[in-house]
Amino acid sequence: MKISILKNNVFKELIYTVVSIIAMLIIWKIVSVVVNKEVLIPSPEVTLREIIRIVESPAFFGSVLNTSKRAIIGFLIALGTGMLFGMLGGLFKAIYYLLRPFVLIIKAVPTMAMILLTLIWLESEKAPILVGFVVIFPIIYENVVQGIRNVDSKLVEMMKVYNINKLDTIKELYIPSIVSYLNGAMSAAAALNLKIVIAAEVLSQPKLSMGTSFQMEKANLNTAGVFAWSLIAIFMAGVFEQMLRITKIARNGKTLHHEQ
């Protein structure tokens, strides 16, 4: 019964998504016809031709791979450190207050300033990783702190009564409790991270990257090329989100199976 309801929901979700994409394409086509200047708003078909050209170019996979690599490295570092410091900050007030000024500064510094500073400090290949990390670390950190603070105090008391040591309490109670907070944070952070890494690459101009390709298309006044790379970036963000969704489903698989 539940399986059929689930399949029905997935089908509905797919239908709505397709309808939404078609509506966007129609609006895009109308705007491009009205503006009638390919350099301002290229039409969907011209953009599609550009996508094919870019995908067929020899530098495409290298660019996508390098940007993905930077995004994933930055994301994983932010995830690891965000979880570690988030847990420490959530469990120990002193650590939370010690970290608060750093997190506030990281959050408040304009992204562009951060990109420029990292370009001064690091080589162009590594700068985008640091920028991505700096932008998404506070998101992961704050969600983990929130998750730790919202752990059911009655369960904490139960663990204490049964003399369960701190390490096991973290492993068995705190980590599973923060998973739902982390899921939301990770989805938001993955897409944002990719955007930030590409923005940093636009300025740092590493050898092969999506950001450099954006900059090249812009320098050639090829707006359709910029649109094409944007669509490729959106597609990649979707792929990252789906990957996170798959890991989430795999984690919850047991529970879903038992709920049926």
Partner 1 sequence: MRLEGIYKSFGEEEVLHDINISINDKEITCILGPSGCGKSTLLNIIAGIIKPDKGTIKESKKKVGYVFQEDRLLPWKTVFENIKLVNKKASDKSIRDLIRIVGLEDSQKKYPAQLSGGMRQRCSIARAYNFQSEILLMDEPFKSLDYDLRISMVKCLIDIWCKLNNSIVFVTHEIDEAVLLGNKIIVLSGNPCRVDTVVNVSMPQQERRIDDKKMVDLRCRLLKILSRQ
Residues that bind partner 1 (CB under 8 A): 154-155, 157-158, 160-162, 164, 172-173, 176, 255, 258-259
Closest approach, Cβ 213 to partner 1, in A, equals 44
Closest approach, Cβ 3 to partner 1, in A, equals 16
108 vs 163 by CB, closer to partner 1: 163
The answer to whether 89 and 142 are in contact (CB under 8 A) is no
Closest approach, Cβ 251 to partner 1, in A, equals 10
59 vs 155 by CB, closer to partner 1: 155
Fill in the DSSP letter of residue 171.
Answer: I
13 vs 172 by CB, closer to partner 1: 172
CA distance 1 to 4: 5
120 vs 260 by CB, closer to partner 1: 260
Closest approach, Cβ 184 to partner 1, in A, equals 17
56 vs 259 by CB, closer to partner 1: 259
**Residues with Cβ < 8 Å from 197, sequence gap 6 or more?**
67, 70, 71, 74, 128, 129, 131, 132, 211
Closest approach, Cβ 249 to partner 1, in A, equals 15
| Length of the chain measured in residues | 260
Burial per residue of 59-90, b for 16 or more beta-carbon CB atoms within 10 angstroms, e otherwise:
ebeebbebbbebbbbbbebbbeebbebbbbbb
